[in-house]
């Protein structure tokens, strides 16, 4: 299992900086069922090739568990010899910085287009071979395929499902890696990988900027998520929502998706409040925290989430383990729930909850209200939630379905307004409600955001 990345950019050895892997060293990373090795068969100013070789243990494929399933249910299989199954994980672990568009030693290289040739050996393709062209040609690749015979000694047996694929494109390295990360797994629908909710975020993150408008977008989404209906429906819905938004806004050449619009609007309201100490409740991987960090007004920024996994992502995103004492003093993270009387919620000027309350059972809302508005009692609370009336815009969405499988409810504009008035009256807050996203006649915008201001403050 081998991925070769070659460039003739001058000097070609800049590839080593981009990949964060020195051409003179053999480097390895561990995978769930084996390892991946990075080495350079050639490295000179005219031409440089980096190889990512996967060394998969077939016994571990059966013994290692993920969720409630093993990677493979039999010892004799083709998984150790095909590129698809572990390639995404190997790229993420071996070339993580390049995949995320980072190069600390030479940041200029990240934005430098280079001519690349990628060769993927022993690629399993259980879709029609024409899908290779339908996937890669719209993205500007030149490609060449070599189908491997079942047995060279017996040509009458015909061709196998395995190909050697060569791709050529001049672009950013990050662009190549993210597209390979998404497209290679979808060619093998029998791959072993366990798929969960987090894979939707991975698909949208790695597909940002190109998957939304790809002619095979829906097919790619279904195959990436292994045709799991609930996950696929959500992914397609979110991609379609971003596409719909991009046709509505003409003010900026870089269109914002709906989630980013929510974050920006919440940031604006926090900025206007004059708050200096802000707690992001349900911070996830830290996208709003990153916005807050860019503004000197916010002197103490804290992220809280019920999910330990999301907090780990945020911790890694901000490199908190290696951060300076001053940075750690300004930014901190902790795990808790909006239904706990946790003393760590105290002492903030503002609390923000972007798309959080709809993940609670409605009978638990009074407890959340008491914790946030009564116990923590900040001067400002900013929160957003979906507008259920807008769901009819999404053609692929079932009429009775929610936008996310983890939503416990979704309110109409009238229901949200009534709830806000009730909470404000009970806990002494004035409230203003506004729409987020493109508005449609009679049904409003996709999201609604409320800003609660404590009276007499």
pLDDT at 197: 72
Question: What order do you get walking across the sheet with 142-149 strand by strand?
Answer: 27-31, 34-43, 48-56, 2-7, 114-124, 159-171, 142-149
| Residue 19: half-sphere exposure toward Cβ, Cα within 13 Å | 27
pLDDT band for position 223 (50/70/90)?
A: confident
Sign of CA dihedral 389, 390, 393, 396: negative
Task: State the angle between helix axes of 229-246 and 217-224 in degrees (0 to 180), rounded to the nearest 10.
Answer: 150
Q: What pLDDT, on the 0 to 100 scale, is given for residue 89?
A: 79
pLDDT reported for residue 423: 95
CA–CA distance, 130 with 221 (Å, rounded to integer)? 18
Kindly report which listed range (12-21, 83-92, 201-210) carries the lowest average pLDDT score.
83-92
Retrieve residue 188's tokens. Answer: 């093998």
Instruction: Tell which residue, 350, 343, 253, 251, has the closest CA to residue 292.
Output: 350
Considering 58-67, 237-246, 296-305, the range whose residues carry the highest mean pLDDT is: 296-305
For the chain, report the end-to-end CA distance as a whole number of angstroms.
Answer: 64
Among 3, 9, 53, which Cα is nearest to 169's? 9
pLDDT at 193: 57
Kindly report, residue by residue over 383-441, the tens digit of the pLDDT: 999 998 888 776 555 555 677 667 888 899 999 999 999 999 999 999 999 999 888 88
| Helix H or strand E segment including 392 | none
Between 248 and 368, name the one with better pLDDT: 368
Rounded-to-integer distance, Cα 431 and Cα 419, Å: 11
Q: Which residue has the higher pLDDT, 201 or 291?
A: 291
What are the sequence ranges of the domains in the chain? 2-194, 195-247, 258-454
Cα separation, 77 vs 230, in Å, equals: 29
279-324 pLDDT, tens digit per residue, is 999 998 899 999 999 999 999 999 999 888 889 888 988 888 888 8
Q: In terms of Cα–Cα distance, which of 226, 77, 215, 36 is closest to 135?
A: 215
Q: Residue 282 region, left (φ>0) first, then alpha (ψ -120 to 50), else beta?
A: left
Does residue 372 sit in helix, strand or coil?
A: helix
Q: Is 283 helix (H, G, I), strand (E, B) or coil?
A: coil
- Residue 70: is its pLDDT beyond 90? no
Pick the CATH number of 258-454 from 3.20.20.70, 3.40.50.150, 3.90.1150.10, 3.40.50.2300: 3.40.50.150
Q: Residue 41's pLDDT is what?
A: 95
What is the DSSP secondary-structure string of 292-332?
Answer: HHT-TT--EEEEEES-HHHHHHHHHHTTGGG--HHHHHHEE
Asked if the model's pLDDT at residue 65 lies above 50, the reply is no
Distance CA 208, CA 195 (A): 20
| Mean pLDDT to the nearest integer, 91-109 | 90
Q: How confident is the model at residue 72 (pLDDT cuts 50, 70, 90)?
A: very low
| Res 156: pLDDT | 83
- How many CB atoms within 10 Å of residue 152? 8
The DSSP-derived string for 352-367 is EEES-GGGS-GGGHHH
pTM of the model: 0.52
Please report the sign of the dihedral spanned by the C-alpha atoms of residue 116, residue 122, residue 123, residue 128.
positive
DSSP string, 16-57: HHHHT--TTS-EEEEETTEEEEEEEEEESSS-EEEEEEEEE-
Q: What percent of the chain has pLDDT over 90?
A: 48
pLDDT score, position 82: 52
Give mean pLDDT, residues 207-215: 91
Residue 178, pLDDT above cutoff 90: yes
pLDDT score at 374: 95
Up-side HSE of residue 223: CA atoms within 13 Å toward CB?
Answer: 22
Query: Across the strands, what pairs with 198?
Result: none
**How far apart are the C-alpha atoms of 285 and 283, rounded to whole Å?**
6
Q: Is the pLDDT of residue 130 over 80?
A: yes
Please identify, in words, the CATH class of the domain defined by 2-194: alpha beta
> Tokens for 356?
């959080």
CA 186 to CA 190: how far, in whole Å? Answer: 9
């Amino acid at each position: 299992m081998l991925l070769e990345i070659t460039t003739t950019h001058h000097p070609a050895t800049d590839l080593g900086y981009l990949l964060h892997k020195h051409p003179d060293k053999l480097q390895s990373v561990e995978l769930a069922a084996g390892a991946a090795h990075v080495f350079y068969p050639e490295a000179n100013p005219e031409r440089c090739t980096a190889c990512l070789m996967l060394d998969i243990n077939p016994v571990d494929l059966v013994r290692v568990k993920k969720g409630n399933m093993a990677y493979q249910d039999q010892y004799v299989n083709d998984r150790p010899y095909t590129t698809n199954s572990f390639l995404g994980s190997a790229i993420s672990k071996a070339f993580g910085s390049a995949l995320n568009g980072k190069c600390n030693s030479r940041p200029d290289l990240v934005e430098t287009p280079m001519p690349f040739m990628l060769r993927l050996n022993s690629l399993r393709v259980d879709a029609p071979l024409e899908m290779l062209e339908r996937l890669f040609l719209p993205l500007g690749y030149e490609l060449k395929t070599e189908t491997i015979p079942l047995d060279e000694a017996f040509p009458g047996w015909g061709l196998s499902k395995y190909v050697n694929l060569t791709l050529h494109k001049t672009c950013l390295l990050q662009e190549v890696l993210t597209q390979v990360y998404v497209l290679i797994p979808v060619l093998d629908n029998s791959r072993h990988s366990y798929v969960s909710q987090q894979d939707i975020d991975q698909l949208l993150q790695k597909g940002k900027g190109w998957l939304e408008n790809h002619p095979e977008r829906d097919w790619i989404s279904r195959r990436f998520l292994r045709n799991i209906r609930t996950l696929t429906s959500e992914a397609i819905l979110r991609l379609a929502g971003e596409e719909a938004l991009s046709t509505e806004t003409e003010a900026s050449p870089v269109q914002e998706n709906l989630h980013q619009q929510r974050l920006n609007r919440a940031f604006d309201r926090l900025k206007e409040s004059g708050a200096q100490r802000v707690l992001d409740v349900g911070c996830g991987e830290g996208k709003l925290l990153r916005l807050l960090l860019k503004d000197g007004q916010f002197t103490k920024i804290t992220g809280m989430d019920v999910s330990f996994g999301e907090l780990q992502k945020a911790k890694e995103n901000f490199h908190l383990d290696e951060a300076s004492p001053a940075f750690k003093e300004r930014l901190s993270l902790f795990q808790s729930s909006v239904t706990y009387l946790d003393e760590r919620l105290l002492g903030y000027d503002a609390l923000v909850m972007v798309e959080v309350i709809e993940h609670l059972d409605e009978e638990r809302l009074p407890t959340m209200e008491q914790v946030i508005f009564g116990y923590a009692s900040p001067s400002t609370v900013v929160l957003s939630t979906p507008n259920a009336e807008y769901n009819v815009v999404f053609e692929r969405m079932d009429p009775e379905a929610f936008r996310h499988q983890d939503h416990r409810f979704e309110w109409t504009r009238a229901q949200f307004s009534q709830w806000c008035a009730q909470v404000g009256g009970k806990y002494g807050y004035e409230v203003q409600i506004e729409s987020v996203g493109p508005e449609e006649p009679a049904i409003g915008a996709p999201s609604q955001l409320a800003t609660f201001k404590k009276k007499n403050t």
